[in-house]
């Protein structure tokens, strides 16, 4: 079966979140925010968390792309538009119960501190921010991540805008470099995790 990449419908947010949850279950940065607990279904818990994360950004200020094969979501990429996000505070407040349910009070406070450190590393120049990208285990090794990036970056390039992300593994950084991102500085203060900031200038600025 061929894989199609397209914008997600609103009803597909949980399916996309489930793919991200599977992909990030062992991610070192996420483990710093939300350590694994004994006897829990971590993917199920993280599906709720990623659903809340997506919906904490107003629809007009986000882009959620999905890779679909035979009607099943096998990849997802969640982008945030250049700030400010109109209605962002209200959208976030609506998801606070879900954040508290999945993280607990202590975990939520940890997440706020850690996300604050990552946010301070973001460039001040307007940019599209790749918050999350992941591929289901059944579709890995088939270039799905690259297809998701190409789909989104075509959209970003069409607008003549910059893009930014953080990468926590050397393997992922190689993929991002192939799509025009350059390495920045490591982000510290996240425990054992040391994600690296990566910047991709607008296509018009590279010609």
pLDDT at 205: 46
pLDDT at 1: 62
Segment 40-47 mean pLDDT: 94
For residue 30, how many C-alpha atoms fall within 13 Å in the half-sphere facing its CB? 22
Distance, in Å, from the CA atom of 103 to the CA atom of 34, rounded to the nearest integer, reads 6
pTM for this entry:
0.92
pLDDT at 207 over 50: no
**Residue from 35, 28, 43, 30 nearest 137 by CA:** 43
Classify 88 in phi/psi space as left (phi over 0), alpha (psi -120 to 50) or beta: alpha
Containing structural domain, residue 52:
3-206
Domain harbouring 120, CATH code:
3.40.630.30
pLDDT at 6: 98
Cross-strand bridge partners of residue 182:
199
pLDDT at 160 over 90: yes
Distance, in Å, from the CA atom of 98 to the CA atom of 108, rounded to the nearest integer, reads 10
pLDDT at 43: 95
pLDDT at 19 over 80: yes
Segment 114-119 mean pLDDT: 87
Segment 19-45 mean pLDDT: 88
Segment 21-42 mean pLDDT: 86
pLDDT at 100 over 80: yes
Segment 47-67 mean pLDDT: 97
Distance, in Å, from the CA atom of 60 to the CA atom of 163, rounded to the nearest integer, reads 17
Task: Give me the number of domains the chain comprises.
Answer: 1
| Ordered DSSP codes for the chain | --EEEEEPPGGGHHHHHHHHHHHTTT-HHHHHHS---TT--HHHHHHHHHHHHHHTS-GGGEEEEEEEETTEEEEEEEEEPSSP-TTHHHHHHHHHHHHHHHHHHHHHHHHHHHHHHHHHHS-SS--EEEEEEEE-GGGTTSSHHHHHHHHHHHHHHHTT--EEEEE-SHHHHHHHHHTT-EEEEEPPSBTTB--EEEEE--HHHH-
pLDDT at 5 over 70: yes
pLDDT at 204: 58
pLDDT at 117: 87
Segment 170-196 mean pLDDT: 88
pLDDT at 29 over 80: no
pLDDT category at 106 given cuts 50, 70, 90 is confident
- Whether 144 and 67 have beta carbons less than 8 Å apart is answered as yes
| CA dist 23 → 106, 179, 190, 204 (Å) | 24, 20, 20, 33
Tens of pLDDT, residue by residue over 127-146, are: 999 999 999 999 999 999 99
Distance, in Å, from the CA atom of 96 to the CA atom of 85, rounded to the nearest integer, reads 17
């Amino acid at each position: 079966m061929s894989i199609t990449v397209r914008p997600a419908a609103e009803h597909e947010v949980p399916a996309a979140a489930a793919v991200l949850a599977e992909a990030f279950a062992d991610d070192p940065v996420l483990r710093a925010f939300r350590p694994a607990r004994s006897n829990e279904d971590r993917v199920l818990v993280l599906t709720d968390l990623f659903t809340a994360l997506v919906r904490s950004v107003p629809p007009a200020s986000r882009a959620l792309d999905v890779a679909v094969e035979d009607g099943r979501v096998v990849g997802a990429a969640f982008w945030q538009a250049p700030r400010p996000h109109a209605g962002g505070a209200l959208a976030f407040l609506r998801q606070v119960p879900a954040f508290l349910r999945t993280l607990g009070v202590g975990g939520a406070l940890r997440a706020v501190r850690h996300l604050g450190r990552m946010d301070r590393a973001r460039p001040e120049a307007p940019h599209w921010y790749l918050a999350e990208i992941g591929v289901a285990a059944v579709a890995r090794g088939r270039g799905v991540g690259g297809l998701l990036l190409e789909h989104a970056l075509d959209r970003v390039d069409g607008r003549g805008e910059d893009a930014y992300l953080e990468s926590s593994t050397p393997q992922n950084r190689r993929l991002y470099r192939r799509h025009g991102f350059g390495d920045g500085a490591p982000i510290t203060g996240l425990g054992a995790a040391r994600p690296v900031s990566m910047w991709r200038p607008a296509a018009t600025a590279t010609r």
